[in-house]
Amino acid sequence: MPGLFDSFTIKSITLRNRIGVSPMCQYVSNDGMATDWHLVHLGSRAVGGAGLIIAEATAVEPRGRISPTDAGLWSDEHIGPLARITSFISKHGSVPGLQLAHAGRKASAARPWEGDHSLKEEEGGWETVAPSALAFGDKLWKIPKEMTIQDIMDVQESFALAARRAWQAGYKWLELHAAHGYLCHSFYSPISNKRTDQYGGSLENRCRFTVETLARIRAVWPNELPLAVRISCSDWVEGGWTMDESIELARKLKDAGADLIDCSSGFGSPDHRKYPFGPGWQVHFSEAIRREVRIATASVGLITDPVQANEIISSGKADITLLGREMLRDPYWPHRAAKVLNVDLKSIAPAPYAHWI
Ligand code: 8CM
């Protein structure tokens, strides 16, 4: 079994190690445009030695933004600033990835540090869309418009167009955000999907939107480049989405052309009291899907320690680890991990650093 610092090849792409930066919203874009902040934020983590850097949830249409200042890829104008970032990341030995997203009923919200609540139109908010006209909760109180079949087709088209633009911008790895209560998750979870047409009801029907969207992306995203999907493997709620259903969804996604399942969970409803937060609390999901579906997986969620991350890989519980908050604390985490695991720093640190440290 490989370790954290062994390379990982998937399709035509080789990651220099099994350490990835999890997509993390920065909420600092104007009209979806990337800025110097993104170059420095993502670029410093490439210099820091990660093998894969996944840019934050990037909206495929303005309605799909979580907040007014989310990143976006709904027009060709977004491509240029992103291309500058992918070029820098690639030059420094990391693989640039991007997460495509639509926030569904969790859209039109204030930034987390400004309250995380629904924004009225006069506060810069907008009408949201979802499988059913059900608000997320007390804070995200907006009742979304129930999507028509035409709405579904239009959003799927937006995903395909954005995927093509991601490729034009130089991304080598693409992830469909189908977790955390956003649009795809809200279709496959029975909590948020009360439809009676072909997109609701049975497991097959609830999975349809996500599987079709993935297939639309796959049709334009080059076959030799990896395509991942982040799913919520459990709603952690009585009567909600389950691990067994996630295995079924992962099988369908694999058949539709997914190369890797990024295994997260929850956030489809506002009550988090039943979540068993703790170190590596979602690792059993990536382990089960990898074993049952025979597809590559990523593990994410409170991975902070190099020995812990190495064990996840070497025991076959995931093919890559994705670190979020820990990478905010320390963009040089891979350098630190290399020391702990007795790996030659020269293999990941850029020459102007490696010579001295
Ligand atoms: C924010 C935006 C989108 C996401 C998120 C967050 C914050 C935490 C998280 O996921 O786990 O998917």
- Predicted pLDDT of residue 347: 77
Q: 357 has which bridge partners?
A: none
CA 353 / ligand 1 centre spacing (Å): 32
Backbone angles phi, psi at 157, to 5 degrees: -65, -40
Decide if pLDDT at 269 tops 90. yes
For 38-64, how does the pLDDT look when each residue is reduced to its tens digit (9 = 90+)? 999 999 999 999 999 999 999 999 999
CB proximity list for 182: less than 8 A, separation 6 or greater: 57, 66, 101, 102, 103, 104, 106
Nearest-CA residue for atom 4 of ligand 1: 180
Q: Is residue 87 part of a domain?
A: yes
For 179-222, how does the pLDDT look when each residue is reduced to its tens digit (9 = 90+)? 999 999 999 999 999 999 999 999 999 999 999 999 999 999 99
Q: Which domain holds residue 284?
A: 8-354
- Predicted pLDDT of residue 351: 87
Q: Is residue 3 part of a domain?
A: no
User: Tokens 């093919």 belong to which residue?
Assistant: 319
Q: Is residue 105 part of a domain?
A: yes
Distance CA 104, CA 84 (A): 29
Nearest-CA residue for atom 1 of ligand 1: 25
Q: Is residue 114 part of a domain?
A: yes
- Looking at the structure of the chain, the number of domains it has is 1
| Angle separating helix axes 149-168 and 203-220, nearest 10 degrees | 30
| Angle separating helix axes 243-255 and 283-293, nearest 10 degrees | 50
| CA dist 152 → 125, 186, 222, 326 (Å) | 21, 13, 23, 36
Mean pLDDT (the chain) is 97
Q: Which of 21, 22, 25 to mutate to test the pocket of ligand 1 (most atoms within 8 A of CB)?
A: 25
Q: Is residue 208 part of a domain?
A: yes
Distance CA 117, CA 135 (A): 12
CATH code (residue 247): 3.20.20.70
Q: Report percent pLDDT > 70 for the chain.
A: 100
Distance CA 64, CA 106 (A): 9
pTM, rounded to two decimals: 0.98
Nearest-CA residue for atom 2 of ligand 1: 25
Q: Is 45 in the pocket of ligand 1 (CB under 6 A)?
A: no
Contact of 213 with 164, CB cutoff 8 Å: no
Query: Looking at residue 109, what DSSP letter applies?
Result: B
Q: Is residue 1 part of a domain?
A: no
- Predicted pLDDT of residue 273: 87
Distance CA 46, CA 35 (A): 17
Confidence band (pLDDT; 50, 70, 90) for 171?
A: very high
Q: Is residue 33 part of a domain?
A: yes
What is 147-182 written as a DSSP string? PPHHHHHHHHHHHHHHHHHHHHTT-SEEEEEE-TTS
Q: Is residue 171 part of a domain?
A: yes
